[in-house]
Amino acid sequence: MAEKKLKKHLYRYKRYYVFIAITIVALVLPWIRINGNHFFLLNFDHMKVHLFFVKFDMQELYLMPFLLIMGFLGVFFMTTLGGRVWCGWACPQTIFRVIYRDLLKTKLLGIRKSIQNKQAPDKKGTTGKQIIAFVIWAILAFIAGANFIWYFVPPEDFLKYIQHPSEHMVMIGFIVGIAAFLIYDITKLKEDFCIYVCPYARVQSVMYDEETIQAVYDVGRGGQIYEVDPRTGVSIGKKKAHNRKELLAQDPDAECTYCEACVRVCPTHIDIREGTQLECINCLECADACTKVMGSLGKPSLIEWNSISAVKEHRRPKFLRFRTIAYGVALTVAFIALLWMSTTKEYMLLNVNRTTELYETEDHGKIVENAYIMLFQNTDNKDHKYYFTVLKEDKTPFKAIYVKKPNKPFPLSAGKKVKKIAVLATKEILAKDYKKDVTIPIIIKAYAVDDPKKIVVYRKTIFAFPRYDNLMKLRKEQSQ
């Protein structure tokens, strides 16, 4: 009953709802397709990247720096603002540990006595139940492994591949590897992963400032439990008061009951009354534990989800400050740039290379031809017919040069490439140079004939025209 009344004040239930939402999104998102495209897919199989339901070719890797910049800025912004909010509210490691330790082992199988005591060992004589918990977790680990793979091998391919596992051993190997790691990590490594392995845990503390939100013990109300360095105000790791009596002796107004419910519930086995610690994953279990203890005395929790300065000064935290605004602005700019880049994507790719021959002449110098190797790629979801024209540098039509080959538009299926030998020709005198051949800058405008406004690309190249005297010699030979 007390828990029911307290429910709206406890972070635990709010975290559970977030865990459920994240799990549903992670499981369902890879199955959602719009125009055949996924929200996020890094598909090495077909060399494609899907982002915000738009498909990109791996050659369009100009998007990757934006994604990386956004990732880093997002981590900086989130950590400066909310500390290890990711760890406590969204990290798969935390979610999996809650599923295994609190749901499976404690609530469902009764191997552990209470979720309020994460320090206590498992009950004795529960080997059978331990095996059941292990097997259930192993199954869930394989589902999590497959779920992870769906962001690299889309579910529509995954369902086909899984029916012929021997032909897709790399994919199977990854799923088995991820599942094996998750089984070891969640059942044996536990929170040691957060403390010793996770790289984010190592770097996050440098992004903290006095206004970063975290689990904070209110020393002013609760009383000084640990001795602190007088210069830095940081704990020196030695207890000043070992029990309530000693605490009251040094501070008669100290409110901490010394029940240590906050210590027992901590999954990383720390005492938050010692101050900010690297091991704290911001799960706020200690805040909930103290809410219950102090709530029964009609007082607010001594452990708050707040900033150190705000707790000291009994105020709300300052979210808007120079660092958070700067990260927020940079993140918004990177996001807008990414959105803009993803909407201005090229629906076709074109590489234009000249052949080794500078030029050729036909009809005794009356026609000058240049040959090119063009690689067309249809990066759209639909089949199209493509063709191209020649423009001058100022993008006006270069009427004197015409496309001799291919002489008509050609079809190209969605996602396919084709190599074409293209021949551009002219019957006019484009330059009169008596000393050398002339290179004339041109632009190839290639487009889909069925959608020339949306699907169009421009590539710069040159058209080589022979020395005027050599050309005239050829023409004279013919007339004699």
SS3 category, 152? coil
Total interface residues for ligand SF4 by CB under 6 A: 28
Q: Which helix (H) or strand (E) covers residue 23, if one does?
A: helix 11-28
Compare residues 192 and 346 and give the one whose CB is closer to ligand SF4.
192
DSSP string, 43-84: ETTTTEEEETTEEEETT-TTHHHHHHHHHHHHHHHHHHHHSS
Cα 216 from Cα 214, distance rounded (Å) = 6
Q: Is 266 in the site for ligand SF4 (CB under 6 A)?
A: yes
Contact criterion met (CB below 8 Å) for 254 and 246 = no
Among 256, 350, 444, 446, the residue binding ligand SF4 under the rule CB under 6 A is: 256
Pick from 285, 331, 350, 412 the residue near ligand SF4 by CB under 6 A: 285
Helices (runs of H) and strands (runs of E) counted in the chain:
17, 16
Region of 77 on the Ramachandran plot (φ > 0 left; ψ -120 to 50 alpha; else beta): alpha
Q: Say which amino acid occupies 413.
A: S
290 or 338: CB nearest ligand SF4: 290
Q: Is 254 in the site for ligand SF4 (CB under 6 A)?
A: no
The residue from 147, 212, 235, 282 that contacts ligand SF4 (CB under 6 A) is 282
Q: Is 272 in the site for ligand SF4 (CB under 6 A)?
A: yes
Pick from 82, 83, 154, 222: which binds ligand SF4 (CB under 6 A)? 222
Residues 392-421 within binding reach of ligand SF4 (CB under 6 A): none
One of 283, 374, 412, 457 touching ligand SF4 (CB under 6 A): 283
- Which one, 111 or 261, has the nearer CB to ligand SF4? 261
- Give the Cα separation of 407 and 84 in Å (integer): 63
Name residues contacting ligand SF4, limited to 288-317 (CB under 6 A): 289-290, 293, 302-303
Q: Which is nearer to ligand SF4, 153 or 201 (CB)?
A: 201
Strands 384-391 and 410-412 turn out to be: antiparallel
Q: How far apart are CA 460 and CA 446, in angstroms?
A: 11
Q: Does 85 bind ligand SF4 (CB under 6 A)?
A: no
Q: Which segment (142-150, 262-270, 331-339, 449-457) binds ligand SF4 by CB under 6 A? A: 262-270
Residue from the set 183, 201, 261, 471 that interacts with ligand SF4 by CB under 6 A: 261
- In angstroms, what CA-CA distances link 54 with 42, 157, 380, 419? 12, 18, 9, 25
- Rg (alpha carbons) of the chain, rounded to whole number: 34
Q: Which of 81, 91, 281, 390 binds ligand SF4 (CB under 6 A)?
A: 281
Residue range at the interface with ligand SF4 (CB under 6 A); choices 109-117, 179-187, 260-268, 337-345: 260-268
The least CB distance from residue 181 to ligand SF4, in Å, is 23
Q: What is the 3-state secondary structure (H, E, C) of 441-457?
A: EEEEEEEECCCCCCCEE
Q: Per rule CB under 6 A, is residue 262 in the interface with ligand SF4?
A: yes
Per DSSP, what are the bridge partners of residue 348? 378
CB 311 within 8 A of CB 218: yes
Out of 133, 182, 284, 412, the residue judged to bind ligand SF4 by CB under 6 A: 284
Q: How far is the CB of 223 from ligand SF4 (least distance, A)?
A: 8
Site string for ligand SF4, 132-171 (x = CB under 6 A): ----------------------------------------
| C-alpha distances out from residue 389 to 111, 361, 403, 460, Å | 75, 21, 7, 12
In angstroms, what is the minimal distance from the CB of 284 to ligand SF4? 5
> Mask 176-215, x = binds ligand SF4 (CB under 6 A)?
---------------------------------------x
Please say which residue, 19 or 376, places its beta carbon nearer to ligand SF4.
Answer: 19
In whole angstroms, what is the distance from residue 371 CA to residue 406 CA? Answer: 11
Query: Is the Cβ of residue 216 or residue 352 nearer to ligand SF4 in the bound state?
Result: 216
Helix H segments across 190-319?
192, 199-204, 219-222, 244-250, 261-264, 285-296, 308-313
Binding site for ligand SF4 (CB under 6 A): 215, 222, 256-262, 265-268, 270, 272-273, 280-286, 289-290, 293, 302-303
